Amino acid sequence: MTPEQIRSEIEAAIPGCSVEVAPNGAVPGQASLAVDRLHALEAAWFLRRHPGLLLDFCSNVAGVDWLDREISEKVKVRKLVDGVEQEAEETRKSKIPGRLEAVYHLFSIEKKQGPVILRVRTENRSDRVEIPSLTPVWRSAEFQEREIFDLYGIVFTGHPDLRRLLMWEGFTDHPMRKDYVPPPEDDGPQDPRGAVGKEAAAG
């Protein structure tokens, strides 16, 4: 099934659910489905039970951080210049608000098919970062969602055991975010122009 077909099926089966097909420039035919976060859990159950898809295996769950972006596009506008209608080019700047995203790669072991790519997005990157956990549907998401919570700061509501996975308890930041600033390290590559280098040159 193509992503468009899946989209229309989901939208038909779950009233009020909006699905967007996100295109993929690299691999044709592997567009992903961005499901709105309110209906994500229902949509996941639907995909797993769908007799034609039977997506019983959630292989990979990845977090992605999209910063605020400004895109400028050139648009043609008709303007009245000195009473004459003229076509002119104008640059419009639009701001795409940043958000966090969890990407699920779903396969079917039963049917040996896949992947269907599901994306669930948060509202923004700062305070509204809740999305529903899909661990009740696929338990393979359990550790991976914990990892995303840890490294990206997405809060998965309904997750059975949402704790940090890799960083230690008490760590406050989210190191995989694009704007993360690591603390200064003291055992990185040595700069030969620094003190150690002078010592090495002397001895």
> Which residues of this chain interact with other proteins, rule CB under 8 A?
24-27, 30, 32, 45, 49, 51, 54, 56-60, 62, 64, 103, 105, 109-110, 112, 115, 117, 135-136, 138-144, 151, 158-161, 164-168, 175-176, 180, 188-193, 196-197, 199-201, 203
Least spacing, CB of residue 26 vs other proteins, in Å: 3
Least spacing, CB of residue 160 vs other proteins, in Å: 5
Q: With respect to other proteins, which residue has the nearer C-beta, 77 or 109?
A: 109
Least spacing, CB of residue 78 vs other proteins, in Å: 32
Q: With respect to other proteins, which residue has the nearer C-beta, 86 or 157?
A: 157
Q: With respect to other proteins, which residue has the nearer C-beta, 11 or 143?
A: 143
Q: Are the C-beta atoms of 42 and 14 separated by less than 8 Å?
A: yes
Sheet (strand 32-35) strand order: 19-22, 32-35, 113-121, 99-108, 57-66
Least spacing, CB of residue 108 vs other proteins, in Å: 9
Q: With respect to other proteins, which residue has the nearer C-beta, 9 or 59?
A: 59
Q: With respect to other proteins, which residue has the nearer C-beta, 51 or 83?
A: 51
3-state SS string for 68-99: CEEEEEEEEEEEEECCEEEEEEEEEEEEECCE
Give the separation between CA 163 and CA 127, rounded to whole angstroms. Answer: 18
38 phi and psi angles, rounded to 5 deg: -70, -30
